[in-house]
Amino acid sequence: MSGTANRVCVVGEGSGAMLALARRQAPLPTRRIVTAEQLMAPQCGVVLPCLDAVPGEERFVADDRETISLLEILVDCGIAAVEDWERSKKDPTKYLLLTLERWIRDHGGADIDRRFDLDITLSDRLVDYAEERGAEGMLYLIVDPNAAAFVLLSPVIELLAETHLRLPATLFNIFAGSLNRWIRVYDYRDAEERVEMLREWYEGEENADQYELPDIEGCTAKCLKEKPLSLRILNELSQNANDEAKEMIKGLLELRRISKQSKRPEFTAEMGQQLMDGNPPLPCLLAAFSPGDAVVGCFDDESQSAMEATPDPNLIIPLNLADPLRVRHGFRTLAVACETLAAASRLIDLMPGNDESVITLEG
């Protein structure tokens, strides 16, 4: 896109309890991520390039060829709605924004907004400060969190263990695995890696015994170490379990089915050149056993250094404007990612103990 409008961003509208994270594009090393105890979400709205001081008739940029090329493809394949052109007042950038909003809304946007606070950005580069943009004719759909959603596991583990001892491990593996196909989930396994890294650091110091490491094993439900159930048994339980467990199992199977409808785009060498020396993606979801357990403690500790280098995006969907079929496939991939997040949100709604982590939407 042109230098005037090279980013279009759909920002989450949440204003309720979330685990706040620093924005990926913020220049740091000095900025810090607030702790998980400070449950909040930033005031958000739809963000457009700041052109308020420019007369309306001059807002169209003749050199903005990639925007026009993308819109032509989206109209031809039925993704862009003709009626949004009038709503945009014939502004190509706003028309693109309205198209993204409609696409997200049609693929589970309302359910996503209940639990997740995410940015979906269309840009010609993967990091804001990059001097060089991506390859000519290449745009990127980028999904990243403003804040990490929170899911409490202990109540649902206790409930499902009454139905089958291996059911909690099954739920956790499918739930975390389905989401990890698209976004980063921070759970007890990440906390274990953090503790192991701290242990290695402390071993080289004097009086290493004085350091107290978080007790991840002590807070992790033992039944999660059980072997997950087969899909055949899980389908049987979806018919025969008590009503509360039955609904959760059905939601879990729906999440698994949706998440597998498309593959995450491959990370290319060209993307890697734009993201050299980056940190892992920021978590979009924190899965803990209780609000103040050792997993949350590790998340808080790790978050203090998460922005010392720019984190990689959670999800990157490249759009090659020279290949309309790949653009259409890219938007379909975004749809599957959105529908996966929506299914996860609906499943969390069924999990006991998670009422407080719903985002309160204005209006």
Question: Does 326 have pLDDT greater than 90?
Answer: yes
Q: How large is the average pLDDT for residues 237-252?
A: 94
Neighbours of 230 (CB within 10 A): 11
β-pair type (138-152, 315-320): antiparallel
Residue 155 has pLDDT above 60, yes or no: yes
Least confident of 65-79, 136-150, 206-220, 235-249: 206-220
Check pLDDT > 70 for residue 174.
Answer: yes
- Predicted pLDDT of residue 21: 37
Please determine, for residue 11, whether its predicted confidence score (pLDDT) is greater than 80. no
Strands (E), the chain: 7-11, 19-20, 117-123, 138-152, 185-186, 285-288, 315-320
Residue with tokens 């580069």: 125
Mean pLDDT in residue range 2-19: 43
For position 35, what pLDDT does the model report?
43
Please tell me the distance from the alpha carbon of residue 282 to that of residue 308, in angstroms, as a whole number: 12
Residue 325 is given by DSSP the state H
pLDDT in the model for residue 296: 95
Residue 41 · residue 147 · CB < 8 Å: yes
| Single-letter code of the amino acid located at 275 | L
What average pLDDT does this structure show over 181-197?
95
Distance from chain centroid for Cα 340: 10
What CA–CA distance (Å, rounded) separates 279 from 118? Answer: 18
pLDDT of residue 342: 98
What pLDDT shows up at residue 16? 32
Residue 26 has pLDDT above 50, yes or no: no
The reported pLDDT for the residue numbered 177 is 97
pLDDT of residue 205: 72
- Least confident range of 51-65, 218-232, 315-329: 51-65
Distance from C-alpha of 205 to C-alpha of 222, rounded to nearest angstrom: 32
Q: Is the pTM of this model over 0.85?
A: no
- Torsion angle, alpha carbons of 287, 184, 110, 234, to 10: -60
* Mean pLDDT, residues 40-51 taken together: 40
In this prediction, residue 168 has a pLDDT band, given cuts at 50, 70 and 90, of: very high
Residue with token string 């390859």? 135
**How far apart are the C-alpha atoms of 264 and 334, rounded to whole Å?**
9
Q: What pLDDT score does 134 carry?
A: 64
pLDDT band at 233 (very low <50, low <70, confident <90, very high): very high
Q: What is the reported pLDDT for 127?
A: 73
If one counts every other C-beta atom within 10 angstroms of the C-beta of residue 48, the result is: 16
What percent of the chain is modeled with pLDDT above 70?
79
Give Cβ neighbours of residue 136 (< 8 Å, ≥ 6 apart).
none
Q: Is the pLDDT of residue 225 over 70?
A: yes
321 neighbors 327 (Cβ within 8 angstroms):
yes
The pLDDT, as a whole number, for residue 44 is 38
Phi, psi of 237 (to 5 degrees): -65, -30
Q: What is the pLDDT of residue 353?
A: 94
pLDDT tier, 208 (very low <50, low <70, confident <90, very high otherwise): low
Give Cα separations from 131 to 67, 126, 127, 134, 205 (angstroms): 20, 11, 9, 10, 42
Average model confidence (pLDDT) for the chain?
82
Q: What is the pLDDT of residue 268?
A: 81
Per-residue pLDDT tens digits for 51-93: 444 443 333 333 478 889 999 999 999 999 999 999 999 999 9
Quote helix, strand, coil % in the chain, to nearest 5: 45, 15, 40
